[in-house]
Amino acid sequence: MLTTVFVQPRSGIAPVRKRLRQTAFGLGCLMLSSAAFAAGGEWPSHGYDDAGTRFSPLSQITPDNVKEMGLVWSYDLESTRGVEATPIVVDGVMYVTAPWSIVHAVDVRSGRNIWTYDPGVPREKGKDACCDVVNRGVAVYGGKVFVGSLDGRLLAIDAKTGRKLWEQNTLIDSSKPYTITGAPRVIKGKVIIGNGGAEYGVRGYITAYDTDTGRQAWRWFTVPGDPDQPFEDASMAEAAKTWDPAGKYWEAGGGGTVWNSMVYDAELDLMYIGTGNPSPWSHRKRSPAGGDNLYTASIVALKPDTGEYVWHYQQTPADNWDYTSTQDLILADIKLEGKPRKVILHAPKNGFFFVIDRTNGKFISAQNFVPVNWATGYDANGRPIENPAARDPDKPFDATPGPFGAHNWHSMSYSPQTGLAYFPAQNIPLVLQEDKSWAYNKAKPGQAMSGIGWNLGMLINTRPPTSQPFGRLIAWDPVAQKEVWRKEHVSPWNGGTLVTASNVVFQGTADARLMAFDARDGKELWSAPMGTGVIAAPVTYEVDGRQYVSIAVGWGGVYGLSARASERRTPGAVYTFALGGNAKMPPFVEYQVNNLVSGVKYKPDDVPEGTALYVMNCAFCHGVPGVDKGGAIPNLGYSAATTIEHLDRFVFEGPFVSRGMPDFTGKLTPGEVEKIKAFILGTADAVRPKK
């Protein structure tokens, strides 16, 4: 059974108007002096600093005057898919990525384009991106801009000219559906990047390259390979002891992909990464006799010079629910029981907030920050106390949180002044049930998205979920392990956060606003309308004595593909605000929805088979016809009748392949397309208001 999440729309929709692109200008604006920036006035890396705190020392914008902020400039990213990038600001230039890994260099004083670099990602690669064709940003170092492309390349670009300097294929096997969506990080002259693709069946790893030459320096795998082959290092030999070879886990890769967070402690000379979920999701399918399946769903410490494993802490042993640990890691020095401790703060998908000793990986504490039903807590050794029903092989389980996570990739921030962490929390209901018939790359109707390569080993929503959806901003005390304040939002899937030394927290929302809150008590201070739902996090910087706040916006991501909380659909953009800004917001575009499709003949007897085929190929992108409202991708229940009548023209070498839609030639038959049409039309008829 397919179900959906409803959100409450906000009123006050802007009229439909077309945006105009900013004009480009010459390279003279690159000749800027960094002296124009105050100390700490840039935003030099993905999490602001090596510790990933997203805490800015700037204080010109305060809780008292933030209401005086206005728009200074906007910049058109010319995109219609999800924008997840954190802009990087160095020497007066903003470097920000759009979907399909396209890099824009923008003058921060005027918002004008300096250069744009398109790595030319083949659009057919979009089918391998489980969670939209997004990119979370670049790294800037030594006059170079580094970006990972969706198709698995790492590129170095000249920061002044936008000219490509070198390129490396990061993939160990180009025949596998690997992707890159995360931002690289530069540590000690090496640019480091991981990969995505665990839902499809790949083996996770992370690789370091020389920033000057692009030559590979080291690579560390997160999970072991075929045990009949030599292990790459001692850490892989140890990890193999936690997998059952009877499951032939290496065929589906094992997962554990490193697709997001990396931070670095220079004093300890350790870098830390978060690893992803195992592949497939079902523990019994990949490791029938049990085992923790290292090093998935873990925090891992490595030596940045060599990639040598140092220690790990596994947050979700034997993960059965897609509980990745790739969410932002933050390094902080806090007092616990009167003693200073060097810790990692982490709020991963599994719903618990963790405090871990970063010198040795020892567990300190964990407390749930949302309602959780898969475990009741963690014991003194740092292992979860599980609910047995969460692993029942025969019954569906309404996992809370579900695979979308209690906190997904959306950035977290931490203020050493308030001692609080700020992050979006959520619940998106989803029922999981072990798929008895799953086999690697053997797609069958009813298996979610298996027609385009997903390998979950789980059935989705075999009964309606009973848990309730929500989205909120939480301020969390990691010492007391308790919530201090919260702001309820109208929907899940809200943007990441930024906190400043003047105690202002900024966050974008799914219902198309940028908001400011008092970091101490959560009081709402200011908001500005955005032209689209916001999922990325804002940044702040100072130039010529003026503090700016910028945010890249564009609705999408895995949840935003099929659902939305705003009636706006303006193309992706960057908006920049400052005190006294008085520029006009550009025209916003309203989301256009047709009436429910009707007037096309279909066979009602085809609906059951069409349902299973739709789940197999379409559901996570297009949602439930006529029930979901559509997100970055349209809901087919609201398509024109001619579109559904001639659906075969769209699924077989159709016009949207150039935008990333899969080509189902050879994967579906014309008869199966007719049954999918029956499901779309039958569902639209079922939800249509009765006269």
Please give the positions annotated as active site.
Answer: 322
List of long-range contacts for 659-667, beta carbons under 8 Å, 24+ apart: 659/123, 659/126, 660/81, 660/123, 660/124, 660/125, 660/126, 660/127, 660/129, 660/133, 661/126, 661/127, 662/124, 662/126, 662/127, 662/452, 662/617, 663/124, 664/451, 664/617, 667/451, 667/617
State the CB neighbour count (10 A cutoff) for residue 339: 7
Token output for 432: 């999981």
The backbone torsions φ and ψ at residue 187, rounded to the nearest 5 degrees and listed phi first, read -135, 120
H or E segment at 650? helix 648-651
Contacts for 179 with CB less than 8 Å, ≥ 6 apart:
125, 128, 129, 150, 151, 152, 195, 196, 197, 259
Cα angle for residues 546, 554, 520 (degrees, 5° grid): 50
Longest alpha-carbon distance in the chain: 73
Strand partners of residue 179: 196
Instruction: Give the three-state DSSP class for 543.
Output: strand
Burial class (CB in 10 A: 0-12, 13-18, 19+), 40: middle
- E strand or H helix at 41, and its extent? none
Contacts for 500-503: CB closer than 8 Å, 24+ residues apart: 500/55, 500/56, 500/57, 500/58, 500/59, 500/61, 500/540, 501/55, 501/56, 501/57, 501/58, 501/59, 501/417, 502/58, 502/59, 502/60, 502/61, 502/62, 502/63, 503/62, 503/63, 503/415, 503/417, 503/418
